[in-house]
Structure 1
Amino acid sequence: MGTKENRAGAGVFSVEQPLWRAVTAFRLLTLLYAVGRYAGDAAHYAHPAAAWAYMGVLSLWTFATVRQFASKARCTWWWLYADLALVVAGILLTRSFDQIAQVDAGEVTLPTVRAAATVLGFSVLGGWRPAALAALIVGLANIGERGRVTSSNVHNIVLLMLAGIAIGYVVELARASEQTLARALEIQAATRERERLARDIHDGVLQVLAMVQRRGTELGGEAEEIGRMAGEQEIALRALIAEGLAPNPSYEAPRRQSDHPDPGAPQDLRALLGPLAGSRVTVAAPGTPVLLPGRAASELSAAVGAALDNVRKHAGPGAQTWILVEDEPDAVVVSVRDDGPGFAASRLGEAEQEGRLGVSQSIRGRLRDLGGSAEITSAAGQGTEVELRVPRQRGKASGASATAAAATKESTT
């Protein structure tokens, strides 16, 4: 796992590597202190040769494992467990090697502060929880060495646990910050690549499609139909580029995307209505994301689609349609207006009596289920306008929209 992370972070500063260098340096310095401290106290030990043998094993182990404790890629839990076991063994052996009177008087153990280096290793590798557990084990070993609980034991345990927890918590924050930075750099690189592709497409494909549309209209006949199709593709491609370059309204840590998105998760209404644009359908929306709960956004988009079906069916294929999206503080309003022949106000009631429920169910019914409304205005010779209003829910959806607007405003200023 560590090797993979190092490869992924190649070329990016790692906040963990300096911490592992600090662990290595602290292990060596505390070992030198432990050996020097024992050398000064060896005279009163009951079994100095055995104590020197332990100090030799501890020294060999510490120097032999410098490479393993130099990076996360090499330092696994088993190395830390072995280091902790050796330190705890030294603490417990102190009572056997030293004079009982010295132990009862509070003489330091053989590993002394070298035990803190072990706790530091647990902090850097696993965070504050493993560090607290390692500190507790060292503290219990000290109590066992003294044979009873003393104020000095409690003091040392509290200090060791506080140090391990504090360092472990800082390490967890640093690791999370590093992941956030790496994700931000990935997003920045992807955005730059999309912008480059957008420029290339604009300079090439879109200009060719626009030229085909103009020439097709000029030539007429079959060429006009080809030009119309080219115009539709140009609009769709422009909408796709705009959607890809739109700022992300909310940032989350990387996670696995489900094949079926959460229906309650906020969706950008612009992304749902953008594909409806064509040579005779114009979609106008705000520059910032228009977020609604997933179900509300889908139902509102379906109602707009039903309104467009009515335009094609009753206004004719040559009718022009305009879709306007308005993101108000308390509601999202979508207006669908066409330049067709229109109809009399009584026509909707007559159609419903005849069993044709397209407007009452596909449009008004959907909006009614969302707690919104659908107003249809038409007059003979003046086209038709359908105004769909969905109230904005207080809470998650509105908060997400406000956050998105603030983020977009900040990125553009």
Structure 2
Amino acid sequence: MDLEVTDAVTPLWRASQAFRLITLVYAVSYQVASMGYYSNARLSWFFVALMAVWTGLSASLLSRTAMPRWKIVLADQLVVIGLMASTRLVADYDWYSTHQTLPTTLWATNAVISAAILFGPRGGVGSGVLLSVVSAVVRDQVDLDLWTDATAPVLLSVGLALGLASNTARRAHAELERAARLAAITEERERLARQVHDGVLQVLALVRRRGSEIGGVGAELADLAGEQEVALRMLISEQREPSRLDSDQVDLRSLLRLRGSTTVSVSAPPDPVLVDRIVAEEISAVVATALSNVEMHAGEGARAYVLLEDVDDEIIVSIRDDGRGIAPGRLAAAEAEGRMGVSKSILGRVAAIGGTALLETDVDAGTEWEIRVPKGKP
């Protein structure tokens, strides 16, 4: 077993071993009360001593997480079966056919509990069935009245209940570990985001501002710095969305609404727009790039409008602004100069997820992107 599963059920193992010691006390008291009816009382005490030794040894071994527990659990089944069979060596038919076997039903339950904790409900029920059959065979009670005896119902009920409890503990432990890992990842991302914001982003913003003031070559440098600033801000924004790691599908509305501001209006359907997580991330990044271009190039006072539509198996996202627009040939010239904001961050991303992007623009007429993407996985 791996460490995660072992840690999850460690409390159950400890509780079961405490129960094992308690049931030994009951078994010894049953031995004291019954030894007068045995045909071989001295031999019965030997088997009780063996029971006591195995109780202590198994409790010690099963409490150690590094031990291969399946071997101990298997040995547990064999020891219990052997002690049950020994009943015929210490008592006659009239006794063993109407009473519990030598180790008592309560002590034999420990083997069922161990199997249930280790293997879940199937293992617990399987062990319960096995020991119930052995008990019936030893006591010569294999008939239609088998279920009138409490042995089988007790063993099967314990096996099922403890098996379900062990599975629940494993699932809860896995969820807790996943939440802890997610919290650690989120904290580390926030720390890195703060460092980037306090250092690199501030430098890029300064270069963009001063370069625009200088003009000429400085303006080109300012544009490049601005593109890198947008890319870094977009990356930080994406990394601050850890909840998107928890599911294969994401409500795209929540991601786009994060882009809303005093100059950006976001409209979306009233119902969730669930898409594949990768598709949602790429669409969000495309919208972020388009809005950054509006902020940098559309002119002072320009407003942007984002519209999300859910049409059958297709997602349509429109990003429109009322800015100065783009002159004919300007995008091709920018790409030739090595500025990849549109060609890579928008067209490249949309193509990678199997979508299409259409741009409508003209001087003093604003711009409008229409992004169409299928809902399925890229």
Tell me the TM-score normalized by structure 2.
0.72
Give yes or no for the alignment of 1:68 onto 2:49.
Answer: no
Number of equivalenced pairs: 331
Q: 1:323 to 1:246 in 2, by over 3 A?
A: farther
Counterpart position of 2:333: none
- Is 1:223 the counterpart of 2:206 in the alignment? no
Is 1:327 matched up with 2:308? yes
C-alpha distance 267-179 of structure 1, shift in aligned 2 (>3 A): closer
CA positional deviation for 1:159: 2.2
Q: Which amino acid aligns with 1:157?
A: A
Conservation of the 8 A alpha-carbon contact between 1:80 and 1:121:
yes
CA 1:116–1:75 in structure 2 vs 1: closer, same or farther (change >3 Å)? Answer: farther
The aligned counterpart of 1:236 is 231
Displacement after TM superposition at 1:80 (Å): 0.8
Say whether residues 1:158 and 2:135 are aligned partners: no
1:52 & 1:22 partners in 2: Cα distance? 27
Sequence identity (%)? 34
- Conserved in 1, the CA contact under 8 Å of 2:147 and 2:153? no
Question: What is the Cα deviation at residue 232 of structure 1?
Answer: 1.0
Matches within 5 A, 1:101-250: 101-104=94-97, 106-112=98-104, 113-147=106-140, 148-149=142-143, 150-151=145-146, 154-249=149-244
Q: How many Å separate the matches in 2 of 1:294 and 1:189?
A: 21
Question: 1:31, CA displacement in angstroms?
Answer: 1.5
In structure 1, the gaps of 5 or more residues are: 253-264, 274-281, 309-317, 344-361, 398-413
TM-score (norm 1): 0.67
Which AA in structure 1 matches 2:182? I
From the superposition, tell whether residues 236 and 284 of structure 1 become closer, same or farther in structure 2 (CA, over 3 Å).
farther
Corresponding position of 1:354: none
Find the counterpart in structure 1 of residue 343 from structure 2. Answer: none
Alignment of 1:3-42 (within 5 A): 4-5=3-4, 15-42=8-35
Describe the shift of the 1:90–1:341 C-alpha distance in structure 2 as closer, same or farther (beyond 3 A): closer
Look up the equivalent residue of 2:39 and give its one-letter code.
A
What amino acid does structure 1 have at the position aligned with 2:131?
V
CA RMSD across the alignment: 4.3
Shift of 1:186: 1.1
Q: Which digits, 9 at most, give the CA deviation of each residue in 1:161-191, with x for residues without a partner?
A: 1121012101211210111011111111211
Instruction: Give the AA of the match of 2:139.
Output: R
Question: What SS does structure 1 have at the residue aligned with 2:275?
Answer: strand
> Cα distance 1:378–1:69, how it changes in 2: closer, same or farther (>3 A)?
closer
Partner of 1:334: helix, strand, or coil? strand
Pick closer, same or farther for the CA change 1:88–1:50 going to 2, 3 Å.
same
The answer as to whether partners of 2:211 and 2:221 remain within 8 angstroms in 1 is yes
**Matching residue of 1:292:** 275
Q: Which residue of 2 aligns with 1:92?
A: 85
Kept in 2, the 8 Å contact 1:342–1:382? The answer is no
Residues 78, 294 of structure 1: alpha-carbon distance in 2 compared, 3 angstrom cutoff: closer
For 1:387 and 1:76, the matched residues in 2 are separated by 60
Is 1:54 the counterpart of 2:47 in the alignment? yes
Cα distance change, pair 341–91 in 1 and its aligned pair in 2 (3 A): closer
> One-letter code of the match for 2:159?
G
Shift of 1:296: 7.4
Question: Distance between the aligned counterparts of 2:318 and 2:264, measured in 1?
Answer: 10
**Secondary structure of the equivalent of 2:103?**
coil
> 2 CA distance for matches of 1:170 and 1:163?
10
CA shift for structure 1 position 389: 5.5
In 2, Cα distance between equivalents of 1:47 and 1:26: 29
Deviations 1:109-142 (A, max 9, x none): 1111111011111122221110111111100001
The answer as to whether partners of 2:116 and 2:163 remain within 8 angstroms in 1 is: yes
On the 8 A contact 1:139/1:153 being kept in 2, the answer is no
Q: Does the Cα contact within 8 Å between 2:120 and 2:167 map onto a contact in 1?
A: yes
Structure 2 residue identity aligned to 1:208: V
Summarize the Cα distance change of 1:375–1:217 in structure 2 as closer, same or farther, 3 Å threshold. closer
Contact 2:318 2:368 in 1 (8 A): no
**Is 2:63 aligned against 1:78?**
no
Assess if the C-alpha contact under 8 Å between 2:10 and 2:65 holds in 1. yes
Distance 2:125 2:194 in 1: 54
Distance (Å, rounded) in 2 between the aligned partners of 1:142 and 1:67: 27
**Is the CA contact 1:143–1:153 (under 8 Å) kept in the aligned structure 2?**
no
- The aligned amino acid for 1:211 is L
Residues 35-71 of structure 1: CA distance to partner in whole angstroms, max 9, x if unpaired? 2211221122112222222112121122223321214
Instruction: Specify whether residues 153 and 59 from structure 1 end up closer, same or farther in structure 2 by C-alpha distance, changes over 3 A only.
Output: farther
Give the counterpart letter for 2:99 in structure 1: E
Please report how far the alpha carbon of residue 74 of structure 1 lies from its aligned counterpart in structure 2 after TM superposition. Answer: 2.3
